[in-house]
Structure 1
Amino acid sequence: MSVKSFRYEQVAQKIEENINILQLRPGDKAPSVRQVRRDLNVSLNTVFQAYSLLEAKGLIISRPRSGYIINSLGSSLKIPETKSRPMLPANVEITAMAVAMMKNAKENGIVNFSILAPVNEFIPITSLNKAVKASLSEAGNDNFQYPLVDGHPNLLKQISVLSLEWEKPLSPDTILVTNGGMEAINLCLDSITSKGDIIAVESPTYHGILQSLERRGLKALEIKVDPQNGLCIDDLELALANNKVAACIFMPRCNNPTGSGMSEENKIRLVELLGRQNIPMIEDDCLGELSFGITKSYPAKAYDNYDNVLYCNSFSKTLAPGFRIGWVSAGKHHLNIEKLKFGSNISTNGILQDAIAKYLESGFYNKHIRKMRNDLQGQMIKYIGTINQYFPHGTKLAVPKGGLSIWIELPAGLNAFEFQKKALSQGIGICPGHIFSSLEYYENFIRLNYCPLWNNKIEIAIKNLGDIAASNL
């Protein structure tokens, strides 16, 4: 099944093909930016992104006043592989490990690549401040009272508007506002699972999901994720045939930590597979709006004709992590989740709900997301180029299709926990791969957040990480 690539990736591939056709040798000049723009009828920005990607891969290098020339090193970018392993349910024991990792990085990380959240430079702080002030100052509003358990009516409406392009848009009365995306996922788990149940998860997957399973005494059944194309549905089919799976938790649009994404065809196939077998799917789409594709990417929920997808999202990765505003649209499980929400904390902060609703209503959100995606792509290319330059031979990574992080496979023999300790001793926080699996599969992998704004300090930190890796081989 074909996988859609990004425009700049297509242009980069075409440039690489032309280099091979022209039999250009190391030191020769690559086709000029203006020539590529004219020949392929694309924007200058797209051409520059394509050349930046080729530079990150090591195929070309830039020379001041000379343009781009062919690099003698050639392309050294290699893609990590998630190996197929026996699919057996496992008890989860990673909470202590994950908490220690996050705490150490927060306390000791001068440069922190471990926390997956946008830095302030990516947050529309001025506009959000205006929206908060408006929510506080409007006469006669009810924002100082308990909000409705489902959420602020205006926010429910605005979230619904965000889904209007979907094949199956969300109605406001099918949405419930939560304290961040994790509360949405936890409410779903409490609604549809019981202690001892087997839950299919991606491998690797977000450690917060594994922590939620651990607290509830649920078993994780790990399904392989391809670092570029997302969840391997063939492996899922095999797992379902051999195990009594109570539910699934997947990130079809943008996996954390790999940044991979499924094609629209595969999302439809996934929804239909689980719908036919009546196995609920909790969809974590908190990074979905940060997909970089040239064509619009939709969540699996957009294709849910079975009312079987419990859709979870939040504004933590796109607007304001500190607001802790998320939501869930749980289909036929909505009423039960509403009861669970009321019984746990009654409702979510009304003032912040109203503030985000006002911001969405202003029409700035879509423009903000487009700019944020474009800026993140630029960040990602700079990070990949520097990792490729300074990390030792044998390092592998894939170009993310969205999100905020790069999934890196260190050379064999390097232990990510030991790597993390040595990085922290130099004031650098990273996420070791162990915490993204219930079975600690990824002992020589790390996740690195490329959101911290690029500067000389960031480059030095990445160089130091490369030196640590090289010195421990």
Structure 2
Amino acid sequence: MITGIGFRYEQVAEKVEENINILQLKAGDKIPSVRQTGKDLKVSLNTVFQAYSLLEAKGLIISRPRSGYILNSFGSSLKIPATKSRPMLPARVEITAMAAAMMKNAKENGIINFSILAPVNEFIPITSLNKAVKASLSESGNDNFQYPLIEGHPNLLKQISRLSLEWKKPLNPKNILVTNGGMEAINLCLDSITNMGDIIAVESPTYHGILQSLERRGLKALEIKVDPETGLCIDDLELALSNNEVAACIFMPRCHNPTGSSMPEENKIRLVELLGKLNIPMIEDDCLGELSFGTANGYPAKAYDNYDNVLYCSSFSKTLAPGFRIGWVSAGRHHLNIEKLKFGSNISTNGILQDAIGKYLESGLYSKHIRKMRNDLQGQMIKYIGAINQYFPEGTKLAVPKGGLSIWIELRSDIDAFEFQKKALSQGIGICPGHIFSSLEYYQNYIRLNYCPLWTNKIENAIRNLGNIIRV
């Protein structure tokens, strides 16, 4: 019988994987039928179908008409080769021109755009947000038409604080500053704790916007390997810190962009302890953290920060409304300095939109919206991965995300992702080449694919076309 936490079909999938390993099944071997698995585990046939769909999406099993399911001949789990020597040396960052060109080309030519990491309108509670905005505009005697407080709208600060009540160390509203999106939060942190020429430890791969921020400030990137399942490799980080004078770190412990990995809780605690004892500030990018699937969610690293050393950055751009550009930062002992930098930069963030999101959060609708969004995104992810396994050639590898909005894909070693992107754009399809996720040359045959666009025949045909481009 299946018991415990998480979606039941995920637990069934894990149990089936365990049984495959115990029975030592080989490629081509038949696995127990849907009916038999349902009977053995005492779950509904629909739950087993969902579990088998997830395993099929992962590339572990294949459906054979009138024959049931068999073990696949090749898996889909991406593993960064351990034999690949990667000297951990700080490097100058020069990717802004490449990233800007990629985004512009995809926006102008990508009829089907898998490159922009943002929720499509179907995932945004537009009606409820419209009501909240109208309420913010129509209330008599409100101050929303005046300059807001530097730190942010009081009700929004209160509601953001409430989101952290389950943490071991919840956020105090007095220690939260509202920003123009998550990137302003990260940039304010960098301006507060770094100087030109400093070495900043980042993940490899990492979000290209972080690398662009380092480049603008003349900072050097020290890339630390990310495991596609467990996230940042802390042993590698320890080694790098012992050999380099690192001024700060920027990491994404939950729903890492681009791999979709999430660090286990014990790893987050170890990370916070390591950097806290060394007094090396850590900027935590948690803009995608709310979109973790099933049991993978956990807490951000900030929840375990006993050193006041984590500068926590997040936003509502990935969960509510990208166009509102509402983010926030809670920067520990650096918070007062960041408030001064915010005032000197742009004084404050849009008060009407702050108030609107505050009202929406206060309504209690947010938690229900997030639960539905996670579930819908996981369904999307399963369909996308299933299509990639079906249409991309053998030798393709991918990291099955534990949350977020995208899939990290390794193509054959002879494929140049930048050239692949150009060919895809000629067919009206936008993708992100792996080049922009590193200051070095590690990911030239990788791509990132956003699985948020709602699944349709048009989307399936686009993925089929991408597979055909690779085969040529």
**TM-score bracket relative to the smaller structure:** over 0.9
Q: Does 1:403 align with 2:404?
A: yes
Q: Does 1:187 align with 2:188?
A: yes
Q: Write the mapping of 1:318-337 to structure 2, written as runs, cut at 5 A.
A: 318-337=319-338
Q: Does 1:414 align with 2:427?
A: no
Q: Write the mapping of 1:34-433 to structure 2, written as runs, cut at 5 A.
A: 36-37=37-38, 39-41=40-42, 46-56=47-57, 57=59, 59-61=61-63, 63=65, 69-71=68-70, 73-81=72-80, 83-294=84-295, 296-433=297-434
Q: Does the 8 Å contact 2:31/2:71 carry over to 1?
A: no
Q: Larger deviation: 209-218 or 80-89? A: 80-89
Shift of 1:81: 1.1
Percent pairwise identity: 81
**TM-score, normalized by length of structure 2?**
0.94
4+ long deviations beyond 6 Å: 22-25
Q: Does the 8 Å contact 1:210/1:438 carry over to 2?
A: yes
Question: Do the aligned partners of residues 135 and 54 (structure 1) sit closer, same or farther apart at CA in structure 2, a change above 3 Å counting?
Answer: same
Shift of 1:270: 0.1
Q: Deviations over 1:129-187 (max 9, x none)?
A: 11111111111111111100000000000000000000000000000000000000000
Q: CA separation in 2, counterparts of 1:126 and 1:219?
A: 44
1:358 partner SS: helix
RMSD of aligned C-alpha atoms?
A: 2.1
Q: Which runs of 5+ in 1 are unaligned?
A: none
Shift of 1:27: 9.1
Shift of 1:39: 3.7
Shift of 1:77: 1.8
Q: Deviations over 1:451-470 (max 9, x none)?
A: 01000000000000000011
Q: CA separation in 1, counterparts of 2:44 and 2:185?
A: 40
Question: Do the aligned partners of residues 39 and 110 (structure 1) sit closer, same or farther apart at CA in structure 2, a change above 3 Å counting?
Answer: same
Q: CA separation in 2, counterparts of 1:377 and 1:318?
A: 14
Q: Which runs of 5+ in 2 are unaligned?
A: none
Q: CA separation in 1, counterparts of 2:46 and 2:263?
A: 26
Q: Deviations over 1:415-463 (max 9, x none)?
A: 0000000000000000000000011310000000000100000000000
Paired residue type of 1:69: G
Q: Does the 8 Å contact 2:417/2:445 carry over to 1?
A: yes
Match of 1:32 among 31, 34, 58: 34
1:196 partner SS: coil
Q: CA separation in 1, counterparts of 2:71 and 2:302?
A: 47
Q: CA separation in 2, counterparts of 1:96 and 1:125?
A: 34
How many pairs does the alignment contain?
A: 464
**TM-score, normalized by length of structure 1?**
0.94
Q: Does the 8 Å contact 1:76/1:388 carry over to 2?
A: no
Q: CA separation in 1, counterparts of 2:128 and 2:64?
A: 38
Q: Deviations over 1:308-356 (max 9, x none)?
A: 0000000000000000000000011111000000000000000000000
Q: CA separation in 1, counterparts of 2:346 and 2:228?
A: 38
